[in-house]
C-alpha cells in the first residue's frame, strides 16, 4: 500500500509543455525588465534557439547586454 503522503505523478501535466505557448519575444522583454530593474540600467535580452524538453521544460541560450542609448 503506498504511503498516503505520496502523491501520484500527473503524467498528462508533465507532458503538456505550457512553455510552448509563451512567445520568445515576451520572455525576452520580461527578462530585460527584471535585469534592468535589478541593475538600474537599461538592458536588453536575446534568446537563441529554444528546444522544448519532454517534461515541461526548455533549453535555450540567453544573452543579456547593456542597451546603448546616447540620449540618456
> What does DSSP assign to residue 19?
G
User: What single-letter DSSP state applies at residue 18?
Assistant: G
Per-residue pLDDT of the chain (72 residues; tens, 9 = 90+): 455 567 887 777 767 888 888 999 999 999 999 999 999 999 999 999 999 988 888 999 999 999 876 665
pTM of structure: 0.72
* Non-local CB neighbours of 29 within 8 Å, separated by 6+ positions: 45
Amino acid at each position: 500500500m503506498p504511503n498516503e503522503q505520496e502523491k501520484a505523478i500527473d503524467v498528462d501535466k508533465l507532458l503538456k509543455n505550457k512553455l510552448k505557448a509563451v512567445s520568445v519575444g515576451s520572455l525576452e522583454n520580461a527578462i530585460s525588465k527584471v535585469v534592468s530593474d535589478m541593475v538600474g540600467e537599461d538592458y536588453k535580452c536575446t534568446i537563441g534557439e529554444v528546444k522544448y524538453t519532454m517534461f515541461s521544460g526548455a533549453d535555450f541560450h540567453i544573452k543579456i547586454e547593456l542597451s546603448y542609448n546616447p540620449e540618456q
